[in-house]
């Protein structure tokens, strides 16, 4: 809990770390790689000399793309002479108030002037700056700072930062899941250390990463994935320590029905179902490197007319060796994959998961109805959808099917405020929509009953009224 000797080592930027670059409200996730050119906000630079600095350090981008930690009191910002007008009755927009031309500014930039200095030049050459009100001056400086300041802050990734980054940069990739909606999901699903959580995420792995962060490496997460393999770009950006990955399991959604029917065989000769798939994947893997080398048909033809040339012979042998090694590797990989599948299947089979989080581009209804079967009773679940209508359908299906209570269809409104002396008001633009959530709690099913007989079982008329009003 308390600080200890190597207190700072975990706060230092290291080579290979996943970090987030920040300027203003713009974020970009990155990995620190030596001599790698990074382009961020129309500027290019190298992250090499950020290594060994502390996280949250702000750097200035120098010419040649090197970074230099910014001195703390560099942000003076105030314009020496505190002179300001009271209103704008005498300010005329004649387009001539700025005496510097665009070319002048370009030359300043080429001279390698710092952003701060360019802004100072702009102020000094503005005829109207002194007549502007104090507030307008502030606003002017802020605007110019945004444009000319060449700084970048390097942050340690977190769910907060990555969720804001994805929402700002690539909302399409995360089905327009807004960060406050993601926050609701983690809380409504009671995500915490030590539980066993199912996640179905086609939001680049952001939701999965968020769930893993909240579990802190304790418990298990089973990622249900569609198609050939799980998407985890978002998870990687979190830069989790290696042991976090021990808690992460994966299970292809196409095996859910066989698993539920008890026909999924992952033990001895599971191959039938699984190997076919992984073979296909393996083939693809194999084809690529070969194509790079020479192309496989050519290779085969070489084998047939071999024997003339010793060199060729040797080449062939080497190639075969390589091939064998590759095949061996593939076998090991396949075996590993089978083991992983078996482990995930075992976790699911007991049907006692503690939580379910769905955020996908698929129709949520079949996903929810399928995966809900893996939950223990009295456990929360939450489904995200960009649209409301499919969640209405989910709600209706769940009410017909039974086995859940506390169903709620919600969305949240997010409003940011500018808080400044005498200038406090809501921020002009707000997000139009952050998606919808259907949440609820599982309960024990009475016993399988034919659809429609529900009504007959309801005992007291009082209770009937109750369910009717339940929202």
Which part of the chain contacts another protein (CB under 8 A), choosing from 29-37, 159-167, 224-232, 324-332? 159-167
Q: What is the rounded distance in angstroms from the CA atom of residue 405 to the CA atom of residue 403?
A: 7
Which C-beta is closer to another protein: that of 310 or that of 456? 456
Which C-beta is closer to another protein: that of 113 or that of 407? 407
Q: Does 184 bind another protein (CB under 8 A)?
A: yes
Which part of the chain contacts another protein (CB under 8 A), choosing from 7-15, 61-69, 291-299, 336-344? 7-15
Distance in Å, CB of 39 to another protein, minimum: 24
Residue from 39, 92, 127, 193 touching another protein (CB under 8 A): that is: 193
Q: What is the rounded distance in angstroms from the CA atom of residue 254 to the CA atom of residue 341?
A: 12
Which C-beta is closer to another protein: that of 250 or that of 354? 354
- By CB under 8 A, the residues from 290 to 319 that bind another protein are none
Q: Angle between the 206-215 and 159-169 helix axes, to the nearest 10 degrees?
A: 170
Q: Does 186 bind another protein (CB under 8 A)?
A: yes
- By CB under 8 A, the residues from 330 to 369 that bind another protein are 352, 354
SS3 readout for 317-329: HHHHHHHHHHHHH
- By CB under 8 A, the residues from 160 to 179 that bind another protein are 160, 163, 179
Residue from 188, 208, 224, 383 touching another protein (CB under 8 A): that is: 188
Which part of the chain contacts another protein (CB under 8 A), choosing from 90-98, 339-347, 359-367, 408-416? 408-416
Q: Does 393 bind another protein (CB under 8 A)?
A: yes
Q: Give me the phi and psi of 435, to 5 degrees please.
A: 90, 175
Distance in Å, CB of 123 to another protein, minimum: 23
Which C-beta is closer to another protein: that of 156 or that of 340? 156
Which C-beta is closer to another protein: that of 100 or that of 443? 443
Burial per residue of 218-251, b for 16 or more beta-carbon CB atoms within 10 angstroms, e otherwise: ebbbbbbbbeeebbbebbebbbbeeebeebbbbb
- By CB under 8 A, the residues from 53 to 72 that bind another protein are 54, 56
- Contact call for residues 28 and 21 (beta carbons, < 8 A): yes
- By CB under 8 A, the residues from 13 to 52 that bind another protein are none
Which C-beta is closer to another protein: that of 5 or that of 459? 459
Neighbours of 462 (CB within 10 A): 8
Distance in Å, CB of 198 to another protein, minimum: 14
Q: Does 273 bind another protein (CB under 8 A)?
A: no
Q: What is the rounded distance in angstroms from the CA atom of residue 427 to the CA atom of residue 325?
A: 61
Q: Is the dihedral angle over the CA atoms 289, 292, 295, 301 positive or is it negative? A: negative
Which C-beta is closer to another protein: that of 252 or that of 380? 380
Picking from 71, 127, 119, 118, the residue whose alpha carbon sits closest to that of residue 98 is: 127
- Contact call for residues 391 and 438 (beta carbons, < 8 A): yes
Which part of the chain contacts another protein (CB under 8 A), choosing from 76-84, 111-119, 249-257, 460-468? 460-468
Q: What is the rounded distance in angstroms from the CA atom of residue 27 to the CA atom of residue 21?
A: 5
Relative to beta strand 425-426, strand 196-201 is unpaired
Q: What is the rounded distance in angstroms from the CA atom of residue 383 to the CA atom of residue 404?
A: 14
CA angle (465, 468, 471) in 5-degree steps: 130
- By CB under 8 A, the residues from 196 to 255 that bind another protein are 213-218
Q: Give me the phi and psi of 457, to 5 degrees please.
A: -80, -15
DSSP 55: T
Q: Does 6 bind another protein (CB under 8 A)?
A: no
Which C-beta is closer to another protein: that of 156 or that of 333? 156
Which C-beta is closer to another protein: that of 204 or that of 341? 204
Residue from 84, 123, 183, 334 touching another protein (CB under 8 A): that is: 183
Which part of the chain contacts another protein (CB under 8 A), choosing from 83-91, 246-254, 293-301, 403-411? 403-411
Which C-beta is closer to another protein: that of 283 or that of 470? 470
Q: How far is CA 257 from CA 212, 244, 261, 427, in A?
A: 26, 29, 6, 49
Q: What is the rounded distance in angstroms from the CA atom of residue 343 to the CA atom of residue 404?
A: 28
Q: Does 78 bind another protein (CB under 8 A)?
A: no
Q: What is the rounded distance in angstroms from the CA atom of residue 442 to the CA atom of residue 137?
A: 58
Residue from 68, 306, 405, 449 touching another protein (CB under 8 A): that is: 405
DSSP 247: G
Q: What is the rounded distance in angstroms from the CA atom of residue 33 to the CA atom of residue 12?
A: 15
- By CB under 8 A, the residues from 420 to 459 that bind another protein are 421, 424, 436, 441-444, 446, 459
- Contact call for residues 363 and 337 (beta carbons, < 8 A): no
Distance in Å, CB of 416 to another protein, minimum: 5
Residue from 195, 220, 360, 385 touching another protein (CB under 8 A): that is: 195
Picking from 225, 280, 274, the residue whose alpha carbon sits closest to that of residue 248 is: 225
Q: Is the dihedral angle over the CA atoms 380, 382, 388, 389 positive or is it negative? A: negative
Which C-beta is closer to another protein: that of 277 or that of 454? 454
Distance in Å, CB of 235 to another protein, minimum: 15
Which part of the chain contacts another protein (CB under 8 A), choosing from 62-70, 188-196, 337-345, 448-456? 188-196
């Amino acid at each position: 809990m308390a600080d200890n000797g190597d207190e700072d080592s975990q706060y230092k930027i290291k080579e290979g770390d996943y970090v987030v670059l920040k300027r203003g409200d713009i974020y970009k996730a990155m990995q620190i790689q030596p001599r790698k050119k990074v382009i961020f906000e129309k500027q290019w630079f190298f992250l090499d000399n950020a290594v060994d600095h502390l996280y949250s350090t702000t750097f200035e981008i120098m010419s040649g793309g090197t970074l230099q930690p910014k001195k703390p009191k560099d942000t003076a910002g105030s314009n020496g002479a505190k002179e300001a007008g009271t209103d704008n009755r005498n300010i005329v927009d004649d387009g001539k108030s700025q005496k510097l031309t665009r070319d002048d500014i370009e030359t300043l930039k080429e001279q390698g002037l710092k952003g701060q200095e360019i802004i100072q030049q702009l102020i000094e050459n503005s005829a109207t700056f002194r007549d502007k009100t104090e507030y307008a001056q502030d606003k002017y400086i802020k605007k110019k700072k945004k444009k000319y300041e060449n700084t970048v802050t390097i942050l340690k990734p977190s769910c907060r930062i990555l969720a804001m980054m994805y929402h700002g940069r690539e909302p399409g990739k995360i089905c327009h899941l807004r960060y406050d909606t993601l926050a609701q999901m983690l809380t409504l699903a009671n995500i915490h250390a030590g539980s066993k959580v199912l996640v179905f995420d086609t939001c680049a792995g952001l939701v999965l990463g968020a769930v893993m962060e909240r579990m802190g490496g304790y418990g298990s997460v089973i990622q249900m994935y569609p198609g050939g393999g799980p998407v985890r770009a978002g998870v990687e950006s979190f830069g989790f320590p290696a042991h976090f990955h021990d808690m992460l399991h994966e299970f292809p959604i196409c095996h859910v029905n066989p698993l539920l029917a008890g026909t999924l065989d992952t033990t001895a000769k599971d191959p039938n179902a699984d190997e076919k798939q992984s073979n296909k994947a393996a083939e693809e893997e194999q084809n690529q490197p070969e194509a790079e080398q020479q192309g496989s048909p050519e290779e085969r033809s070489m084998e047939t007319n071999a024997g003339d040339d010793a060199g060729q012979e040797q080449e062939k042998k080497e190639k075969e060796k390589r091939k064998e090694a590759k095949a061996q590797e593939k076998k090991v990989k396949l075996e590993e994959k089978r083991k992983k599948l078996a482990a995930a299947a075992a976790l699911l089979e007991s049907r006692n998961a503690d939580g379910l989080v769905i955020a996908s581009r698929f129709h949520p209804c079949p996903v929810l109805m399928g995966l809900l079967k893996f939950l223990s009773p009295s456990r929360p679940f939450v489904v995200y959808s960009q649209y409301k209508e499919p969640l209405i359908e989910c709600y209706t299906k769940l009410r017909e099917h039974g086995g859940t209570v506390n169903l709620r269809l919600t969305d949240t409104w997010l409003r940011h405020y500018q808080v400044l002396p005498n200038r406090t008001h809501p921020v002009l633009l707000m997000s139009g929509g952050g998606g919808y959530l259907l949440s609820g709690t599982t309960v024990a099913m009475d016993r399988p009953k034919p659809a429609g007989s529900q009504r007959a079982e309801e005992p007291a008329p009082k209770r009937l009224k109750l369910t009717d009003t339940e929202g």
